[in-house]
Amino acid sequence: MARVQKKVRHKALKEKLSSSPFLTDDALAEFLEVSVQTIRLDRLELGIPELRERTRQMAQDAQAKLKAIASSDVIGDLIDLELGRSGISIMTITDDMVMEKNRIARAHYIFAQANSLALAVLDAHAAVTGIANIKFKVPVSFGEKLIAKAEVVKKRGNKYFVWVKTRNDQQEVFRSKFIIVSLEQ
Amino acid sequence: MARVQKKVRHKALKEKLSSSPFLTDDALAEFLEVSVQTIRLDRLELGIPELRERTRQMAQDAQAKLKAIASSDVIGDLIDLELGRSGISIMTITDDMVMEKNRIARAHYIFAQANSLALAVLDAHAAVTGIANIKFKVPVSFGEKLIAKAEVVKKRGNKYFVWVKTRNDQQEVFRSKFIIVSLEQ
DNA sequence: ATTGGTATTATTACTTACTATAAATTTGGG
DNA sequence: CCCAAATTTATAGTAAGTAATAATACCAAT
């Protein structure tokens, strides 16, 4: 049955490209043992752009992602902020954030969200994290949306005490107490 | 003096390409107000590959970097490991790891090094961080090399107590106590 | 057995963004 | 003004495509 073969080939094509995206139609044709034209029809049907366009998109995407990771002082999206008092941020657990072995989110991402929120709430130009007490209550998995709420509970000298609680849909998954030190002079 | 102009143009070319690497020779020729062939000679002299090759390289580089950041279960290089007992990892603070405002390392990178080392030492296939007590003693800056030492100090049931101390050249900059929970069944 | 429709392959013309050479022209300094 | 380097123009060839059309294969059902 040709119809089935086509679907199978489409699947194989997508898989092949996701593992080696820099293949030409020629190479793909050889790999799948069909003609180049068939590959091109397949790409058309599947909406897969040509090699050069794919490459360009990958370069741009990856570049943008790198920039985002590198330069974001707040990990997660800040959705509410009362400077010096409280703040809320949302972060969705992506593929990149989970451990390969068990698909559970790496602790430092959850920590990063809480910690950077704590710093954002204070907006002290030179503030650094001093001490933190953190508790991971429930393992978090791929796809979960985490909502972190930070609250400044006390100030003593140049030390701020910030509590951050993180929930998923159902429950509190993480809880932390930070002491943030302001280096303002 | 043509010779100087050429050098100037070469410099301008390199700058332009570093800010917008996806320009064709045509676009570059227009921008620098010379012919396309001149641009090509320039690229030849400067060893700059053509647009497609540049794009491909960028895509690969960025992809590799992203993968390195995302999928490394151990942040930092594991240089010594006695399974179930202790481990040492080294991490150098790069550009990406510091805050823009003050060039001080973001806390979560230092945390990530310690936390992932703690997990690596245990090598439990399904272990997650439960509780952590952490103290950032000294701010860490760009370029510093951090050496984290982890030690398993106690085991109670499925809970492991791991201490991680992180030093730079001179002093201890970070100290943490983790309780890691093994989910083995 | 023939017909119809889908799938595949082939063919041709055209495009972009080049490389590689060679030839012609410009230009600035002695 | 002349010369050599720098620059521009010209020409042929390449890879990896798009787009469109035609030819063939295959399979299934009437």
Asked if residue B37 keeps its beta carbon closer than 7 A to nucleic acid strand C, the reply is: yes
Average pLDDT estimate for B62-70: 79
What's at B4, amino acid-wise? Answer: V
Q: Which residues pair with A156 in a beta bridge?
A: A159
Lowest-pLDDT range of A21-25, A177-181, B59-63? B59-63
**Residue A143's pLDDT is what?**
95
Are A29 and A35 in contact, with CB atoms under 8 Å apart?
yes
Nucleotides of C under 7 A from a protein CB: 6-11, 16-22, 27-29
**Residue B5's pLDDT is what?**
77
Beta carbons of A73 and B135 less than 8 Å apart: no
- The number of residues in chain B equals 185
Lowest-pLDDT range of A59-68, A101-110, B87-96, B175-184? A59-68
Task: Residue A114: name the closest of A181, A182, A184, A173 by CA.
Answer: A173
Task: Residue A109: name the closest of B107, B131, B169, B143 by CA.
Answer: B107
Give B2-69's CATH code, choosing from 1.10.10.10, 3.40.50.2000, 3.30.300.30, 3.90.1150.10: 1.10.10.10
- CATH architecture group of domain A2-70: Orthogonal Bundle (1.10)
Asked if residue A50 keeps its beta carbon closer than 7 A to nucleic acid strand D, the reply is: yes
Task: Residue B132: name the closest of A106, A163, A107 by CA.
Answer: A107
Instruction: pLDDT band for A152, please (50, 70, 90 cuts).
Output: very high
Nucleotide nearest to A7 (CA to C1'): C7
**Residue B102's pLDDT is what?**
86
What are B99-108's pLDDT values in tens digits?
888 889 999 9
* H-assigned helices in chain B: 2-19, 25-32, 36-46, 51-71, 107-122
**Residue A1's pLDDT is what?**
40
pLDDT: which is higher, A145 or B100: A145
What are B125-151's pLDDT values in tens digits?
788 999 999 999 999 999 999 999 999
> Distance from residue B57 (CA) to nucleotide D6 (C1'), in Å?
31
Q: Return the ∠ at Cα A122 (arms to A116 and A127), rounded to 5°.
A: 75
> Distance from residue A53 (CA) to nucleotide C8 (C1'), in Å?
25
**CATH superfamily entry for domain A72-182:** Hotdog Thioesterase (3.10.129.10)
What's at B31, amino acid-wise? Answer: F
Place of tokens 């296939």: B125
**C-alpha B160: how far from its chain's center?**
29
Asked whether the whole model's pTM tops 0.75, one would answer no
Domain ranges of chain A: 2-70, 72-182
pLDDT: which is higher, A93 or B75: A93
